[in-house]
Amino acid sequence: MAPGKRVTDPLQWGYSLSNVFELLSGCLEAIETKTVLEIGSYKGELTVELLEWAQTRGVKVAGVDPLPPDELEALAKAHPELELLRQTGQEVLREREFDDAIIIDGDHNYYTLSEELKIIGERAPGAGMPLLMFHDVCWPHARRDTYYEPDRIPEDQRQPLVHNEGIAPGIKGTAEWGLPFVWAAAEEGGEKNGTMTAIEDFLAERPGIQLAVVPAFFGFGVMWHRDAPWASAVERVIAPYDRHPVLERMEGNRVEHLVAGQARARQLVKLEEKVAKQEDLLRRLLGSSAFTAAEKLSGLKQRGKPLFTREEVQSLLDE
């Protein structure tokens, strides 16, 4: 980790688009962007890199988060050049003049993304569409909704939900040992479920739009209209990585290791809980008169050498 780099991903899931910043910034440079809107800034991992990149290029950066975490608030305070919009992505897209590039990494469910894309499609049809970039267009969000606040989604637009359950690749339902999510669709797949499903449904109604998917760090998507003046420049940057089979295998392997690590962590927690209960029982036994009587009785049966002693038990507890 570079000196001064903030630690915001302690579990090392690689959940931020900052992990593909070279590709993301390459696309921004290809269109010679002057303004960038980031929907779903969260803790600001990508935001801080955008600000550093924009500093010498005269590019304005705006971040969107209806409930900014403390880390993002602190970043905005330290960088007054950052325009922090405390609204939902849909509210901003309805009200704001479109930026040259829009990064969408907000609530990862079909309804939210579809509504955001609908607004963009209506307000900027055809070649007037900004460059769009997405995160989480591969597993686990591609075909399964997750929700920060389910109540923000109309009830008839929500998938059947599970709360604090695990998700694992290749399993349609949930898995106790999978990656944990607070709110997620009970099952993967089907209509109106997941980010990629929302993107595909948007594309089906609008000819002339190109989509590239980089299968790394949960999936980086880039969308542009083929008639945009900078279309060929963006394609040169991103096309070599689009659905690359080697990247797909590497990401599949990475995800499997993440899930396996989560399973080991759960097993360790259970083991620690079991040991804690055993220690509590032993300490209560040591303090009881029944233990003293059992120790003496054991000594009588073993002709002076008891099966267990208070010192042996205490020694185990002290280790």
Both structure tokens of 47: 């935001």
Structural domain contains residue 220: yes
Q: Same domain for 121 and 43?
A: yes
Per residue in 279-311, pLDDT (tens digit) is 777 777 777 777 777 667 766 555 556 666 777
Q: Same domain for 310 and 198?
A: no
Q: Same domain for 73 and 220?
A: yes
Residue 246 CA to residue 142 CA, distance in Å, equals: 19
Which of the listed residues 246, 269, 298 is the one where a domain comes to its end? Answer: 246
Per residue in 229-277, pLDDT (tens digit) is 999 999 999 999 999 999 999 999 999 999 998 767 666 666 666 777 7
Residue 291 CA to residue 274 CA, distance in Å, equals: 22
CA angle 30, 32, 34 (to 5 degrees): 140
Which of the listed residues 217, 246, 275 is the one where a domain comes to its end? Answer: 246
Structural domain contains residue 3: no
Q: Same domain for 145 and 206?
A: yes
pLDDT at position 163: 96
Per the structure, the count of domains in the chain is: 2
Q: Same domain for 126 and 27?
A: yes
Structural domain contains residue 74: yes
Q: Same domain for 76 and 204?
A: yes
Q: Same domain for 296 and 237?
A: no
CATH of the domain at 60: 3.40.50.150
Structural domain contains residue 109: yes
Structural domain contains residue 53: yes
Q: Same domain for 36 and 151?
A: yes
Residue 272 CA to residue 266 CA, distance in Å, equals: 10
Q: How confident is the model at residue 74 (pLDDT cuts 50, 70, 90)?
A: very high
Residue 255 CA to residue 253 CA, distance in Å, equals: 5
Residue 306's domain comprises 287-318
